[in-house]
Structure 1
């Protein structure tokens, strides 16, 4: 695969440059909807798949080969850097990350250790290096954002309302600042190491930050996100920022020194542009539609593409990740459709 000419369409779209067609990749494009993934998963636990570079690289590569997408995203979990800093986390099937020693006080924050990627997660960096050699499309490295990591660390696992996290944020001013600073440093160290190892772009997943209103985001979160994206500028690679249910935060995000904003399905591309969002955009087919009849998927994809192609700097994706019930054939068909439909229409006119 690595002997094919390098396809940089995705990187050009990240930078807002014209592209011959709309590039496409999918969140959770490596995962349980793939029979091949399930076969590998039978042999290893989630963290083991991460810790064996050959397996991590294979799982990352699979969807690129299978779907013909324009970018690969490293197969890992946003929890990966938390164990080394002192958080006892396990990924429980059907639940997600479960933490045995949640953060309950500023003292718990003080005890968190610094993160040294080369020492703590050498296997991730080795997988990135392998993929750099093997892929003919860009590799996206990624990390969890401080708020989203903090929400797991404080709640002890997934949450519907983030009451404990917000209570800590509102009441423990110094503890919250210290936590954001520490997690900001983790995110920066982790992503910089992935870039040094060969990642072509990096994405920060702030999956649950939509739980905050814009004022709270501005006060409690924006400073650390500015610090992260500002520091990542030094790497010279494109940066992407994404959260779910966060359309009300787009104006705040637009002020950050980030290159690409990922939209979920609740905010249309056109609505974002009308609000004055000038950055490159990524998104945003509702993943649930992947179970709908093909003509409906095609119609919705067409609508999204028409809006996305009104300006250069557009990447087709889903509004959240692919889930296990989706068929591989659907994803193959969708990728082919996005490529073919957008290649026949001029972008940015």
Structure 2
């Protein structure tokens, strides 16, 4: 593997000194880019794009050709694990992900296998290897997975949900069944992320997209505890470098103190938590990633720069900040506005690192 030329993203996650604040965007390889839409049309559908190593590599690198980003993130989907468990993932136009089989009973959970990440999900590992090779050390590559709780929301509901009726019924009426499901998912995610690391991922992020729909005690018992187990089982050093772990719970700002004790190197923040307050609360335990509202990219360039300046000022001087959006970039965002955002982070942050 080529020597890494830009490692400020990895150093910031480990709270080491950097010259400017590193920046990347969740969903940075996606449908706001016309070149992505063209490649997806060539693939035929979303899943075919994920499973084609050359095309998955192509779309991963596309945003790096437009923007001076400090990291690439694997192009894939969080629902690869449930698919490998035999649930039959498919996508309906305008409706999002769906499963042919859903998990509703103890027998359903017992029938699930923990997939072999190297074989059942070999197309993901092939994409990781291809991307690392094509990056040629330009920037680090981020691998990722959904959290057990977030994966379970789709598996039990059968797709996206607004009220999580079936899953919350299971949580309160048959908690032991849900714990069994989450245990299998935690082992699956651990294996999956470790295989990504062995294949070339240099940092990993756990996306707990739906953890914020839980009450405090339920969050700790059904989401955080399982992420803690995953983190404790991850490879944390590979090829002579530390492999940082980012944990991101959307709408989880009220739990930052307990999240900071879960073993991750960094916590992702959405835009509902002020980053200065978050830094005060976690102290020097973890780095922070975030947290501009993706909707700011609809504004004019000067307003985008103003928002970047405000967040940088709120975080202040010192180490441990990776700039990002508070969630994925919107599909209707103007790519030129995304460039303004990325450039502003580098330009305006230098004074905080002298």
Q: Same fold (TM over 0.5)?
A: yes
Within the alignment, does 1:314 sit opposite 2:330 as a pair? Answer: no
Alignment gaps of 5+ in structure 1: none
Q: How many Å apart are 1:161 and its aligned residue?
A: 2.0
Segment drifting more, 271-280 vs 249-258:
271-280
Stretch of structure 1 that moved more, 241-250 or 201-210: 241-250
1:318 match: secondary structure = coil
Is 1:337 paired with 2:339?
A: no
Q: Structure 1 residue 234: deviation in Å? A: 4.3
Residue 181 of structure 2 corresponds to which residue in structure 1? Answer: 179
- How many angstroms apart in 1 are the aligned matches of 2:89 and 2:101? 8
Instruction: Report the TM-score when normalising by structure 1.
Output: 0.95
Structure 1 residues 55 and 294, CA, compared in 2 at 3 Å: closer, same or farther? same
TM-score for both structures, normalised by structure 2: 0.94
Aligned twin of 2:119: 119
Residue aligning to 2:295: 288
Tell me by how many angstroms 1:56 deviates: 0.6
Secondary structure of the structure 1 residue equivalent to 2:123: helix
Does the C-alpha gap of structure 1 residues 262 and 5 become closer, same or farther in structure 2, counting only changes over 3 Å?
Answer: closer
Q: Does 1:246 find its partner at 2:245?
A: no
C-alpha distance in 1, partners of 2:323/2:174?
Answer: 40
1:273 aligned onto 2:279: yes
**What CA deviation, in whole Å up to 9, does each residue of 1:8-55 have, x standing for no partner?**
000000000010000000000001110100101112211111111010
Q: How does 1:106-185 map to 2 (within 5 A)?
A: 106-135=106-135, 136-185=138-187
Measured in 2, the distance between the counterparts of 1:41 and 1:221 equals 33
Q: Please list the CA deviations of residues 121-153 of structure 1 after superposition, one character each: whole Å capped at 9, or x if unmatched.
A: 212111111221221100000001000000111
Deviation at 1:294, TM superposition (A): 1.7
Gaps of 5+ in 2: none
**Counterpart for residue 18 of structure 1:** 17
CA RMSD of aligned residues (A): 1.6
Match of 1:89? 89
CA contact (8 A) 2:194 2:235 kept: no
Query: Taking structure 1 as reference, are residues 219 and 122 closer, same or farther at Cα in structure 2, changes over 3 Å only?
Result: closer
Q: Deviations over 1:164-206 (max 9, x none)?
A: 2111112212211111110001111110000000000000000
Q: Deviations over 1:67-112 (max 9, x none)?
A: 1100000000001121121212212232221122211111111111
